[in-house]
Structures are given as structure tokens and as C-alpha cells.
Structure 1
Amino acid sequence: MHVGTGNNQTFIDVNKLFVSLGTNLCCALPGYHAFTGCDFNSAFYRKGKKKPFEILRKSPTYIQALSGISQIPNCDIDQLLTDLESYVCRIYGFAGVDDVNTARVLTFNRAYGNKDDCNPINLEKKIDGSLFPPCKAELNQHFIRTAYIAHLWSNAHLPVPTNLLPSDYGWEKIEDKYFFKWFVGDQLPPSITSISNMDLNIEEEHDTETDGVCDITIDNSDDSEGSDEEENL
């Protein structure tokens, strides 16, 4: 493969790369690229490609999941989504959490936790929503878009790569144009009570971790590698 310009031109031996990476990891690359951000799908803000790739190559589970999504509709969507939800938590620095909604609450508590019990809305910092992992409703749509894109790329050698419709996989068609379907359902919680109950459930789950310790880290470092095309989910 010829790359570069001027005095920086070179050739990359793609076959050698394939042998070095291995069949399983190479099969996961279309799904990995679509999942972490491409021309047709949004990226995880400031997470880039390098860190997610290092996490991927160390996990047979994530490799299998990102390989399997290109097989839609002949795959277990629910199981793959469960595995990739865990993958997103790892990308955001949570080693002991597998639920993105829980990761969002923990991110908020860690970064913006209020120390004034008398005034719970007196936050010390301005909230930056781009630092939060996507919620599960958004991740579901991101996932099925990823599946469609990976399926298309994996069958690009065929005369008809796919018969699937984008409108069934994370897009909606409006006046002959396709737009992201960001989520399905209510945009806001139905009541304050529902938020309080969810928060209590998360605290109880967190308190029951082994010996009261949960391996959680928050990583908001910029690993975007200078990309201007990334969007916050």
C-alpha cells in the first residue's frame, strides 16, 4: 500500500501486518474502526484510536464481539452489546464497572461531587457533558450503526454488499436524507423519584463490591491524536 507524499512516500506491506496482528484481530478491525469513530459514525470524545486498540488487542472477548457484529443479522445482538458496553467502560477508565449508566453516575460523583450537604445543587465546577460516557440508549444506536457499517465493509467485495436498510440500523430518513437516530425513548427521566431510586441502586451495588473496594479509575486524558472530526455521543 503506497502512502505519504514527497520525500515521505513509503510502501506498507499489508500482508506482513496481517501475519503480525493475527486473523482474529484483523477480523475485528472493521468493527473496531466503525465503533471508535469513522466517516459514518461518531467517535468517543477525546478517546482517539490508540487506547481503545490497546484495550482491544488484550481481550479475546472484545475481539470476538467486534468480529461478530459484521455478521448481522445472524448474530446474538444482545450478547455483543453487553460485551461492547463493558469495552466502552474500559475505554473511559473503569476497570470494575460494566454498565455505562453506572459509569456516568460515578463519573459525575467523582468529578463534580458536592461537599456541601446543605446545598446539593451548589456544584464546584461547571459540568462538561462531553467527559461522560454515552448512556445506554445512545450506545444502543451507536452499536447498531457500527454493526451496519462493519457489515457493509466486510462485504465490500460482493456485487451487492448488503440488502439491509440504514433506517433499521441507527439512522432515520428525513426528506431523502439520513440522520443519526441518537436514542429511542424519553429524553428526560419521567420523575425525580426515578432518578433517586436509580442512584440508590447504584450506591448499593457499589457498596457490595469485594471487600468494599471497586477497581475504578477515571481517565479524561486527551487521546484524540489531533482529530477534529470526533463528536461527543
Structure 2
Amino acid sequence: MASGVVQIEPLWRALGKERAKALPAFHAFTGADNTGRFSRIGKATWLQIYLKADRDIINALQMLLDEAEVAEGMLSTLASFVCAAYSPKGINIETIPELRWHLFCKHRAESDKLPPTLGALKQHILRVHVQTRVWAQAAIALQDPQLDPLHNGYFRDSDGMKPTTTEVLPAPKANADVNLIVLLEDVRAELMT
């Protein structure tokens, strides 16, 4: 196994001060051990999008390191970052629901190929916020109070803390009820034959 020292300064200069400062949040957002990752989008793809990202996205990622709370504006800005990763080439869709619908209709995308729902993305961003705040204060002796994970994307059960996947139903309850009725009718018809 090769070992050595990686010089950070040339990378910092190549990225520029603002992108370099947002790099820990970028890493946590795009997939770290305890924040989760996006299905079918790897770090190389994310890095290409990050290098082209506008100032609003970079600022939103930086805010995850510094701010005490996740603001609604940060959620919508980071949702547009996710849209950039999942959008087919030549298609510019800015909202998650619109992109999920487009991918489902045009490409018959299976659920694991779709971007997360807004509810799932919000929980992911909350988990990223907890992680980046810890990293941002790692070298500080008197740290600000840490965020409570139980109010930021995690829940506790008998096995310990686990990520909250979403607090929003993936489909309206009426759709789920209709699907259940159709399924029950199919089972009944099959039993009658």
C-alpha cells in the first residue's frame, strides 16, 4: 500500500477559496459514511457538477458548516443542485417533483433511479448539517453547542439512532388507498377462479 503526504494547498488554490471552504459540506452532502448518499450518482459526477455550480449552491453548502439552522432557501438551492445531477443531458429542470415526474414518464425510471423526494432530501440535508457542524468545529476548544441529531434527520429506536428517511408520504394517502383496493380486488378475483 502506498502512503505519503497529499499537499492540500495546490488543491485549495485550484478550487478557489469559496469552493474549498464548502468542500467538507460537499463531501457530506454527496455521500459520507454517516450521512447517506444518492442512488446511482457517484463522487466523480458530483465533482463535475460542483465545479460548475453557481455561487448560490456554494453559499448554501458553506451555510451548512456555519449556520445554526437549515433555512428554507438552503433546501431549495440544494434541491436545484440535486436536479443538476439527475437531469438528463440537455434538459434543465429546477424542481425535484418536476424532475421525478419527467424521469418517470419519459424514461420509465425505476424508483431507485429517481432523485429523492423533497421530504427525503430535507432529512438528508439535516443529517449533513449535523455532520458538517461537527467537522467545522473539530479544531475549536470551546465549541458551539452541537445540533441535536433527534431534531435533525435522525430518530431513536431500540437499536439506537437511525436516519429518518422522510416525514412526508411518498404519494398521497388517497393513491395508496386506491392501490390497496385494486390489489384486494385482484386477489379476490384470483381466489374466485
- Which of the five TM-score ranges fits, normalised by the shorter chain? 0.7 to 0.9
Letter matched to residue 143 of structure 1: I
The answer to whether 1:11 aligns with 2:28 is: no
* Structure 2 unmatched runs, 5+: 176-193
TM-score (norm 2): 0.81
Letter matched to residue 65 of structure 2: S
> How many pairs are equivalent?
173
Deviation at 1:19, TM superposition (A): 2.2
SS at match of 1:10: coil
Alignment-derived partner of residue 72 in structure 2: 78
The answer to whether 1:52 aligns with 2:78 is: no
SS at match of 1:45: coil
Alignment-derived partner of residue 56 in structure 2: 61
Q: Report if the CA contact (8 A) 1:72-1:148 is conserved.
A: no
Instruction: Give me the identity figure in percent.
Output: 25
Alignment-derived partner of residue 198 in structure 1: none
Runs of 4 or more consecutive aligned structure 1 residues displaced over 6 Å after TM superposition: none
Instruction: Say which structure, 1 or 2, has more relative contact order (CA 8 Å, 6+ apart).
Output: 1
Deviation at 1:168, TM superposition (A): 1.1
Alignment-derived partner of residue 36 in structure 1: 30
2 CA distance for matches of 1:147 and 1:108? 30
2 CA distance for matches of 1:9 and 1:164? 35
Q: Report if the CA contact (8 A) 2:133-2:146 is conserved.
A: no
Written as runs of structure 1 = structure 2, the 5 A alignment for 1:84-95 is: 84-93=78-87, 95=91
Deviation at 1:20, TM superposition (A): 2.4
- What do residues 75-107 of structure 1 show as CA deviations (whole Å, max 9, x unaligned)? x61111111100000000254211111111110
Deviation at 1:154, TM superposition (A): 0.8
Written as runs of structure 1 = structure 2, the 5 A alignment for 1:146-165 is: 146-159=128-141, 161=143, 162-165=145-148
Q: Report if the CA contact (8 A) 2:87-2:99 is conserved.
A: no
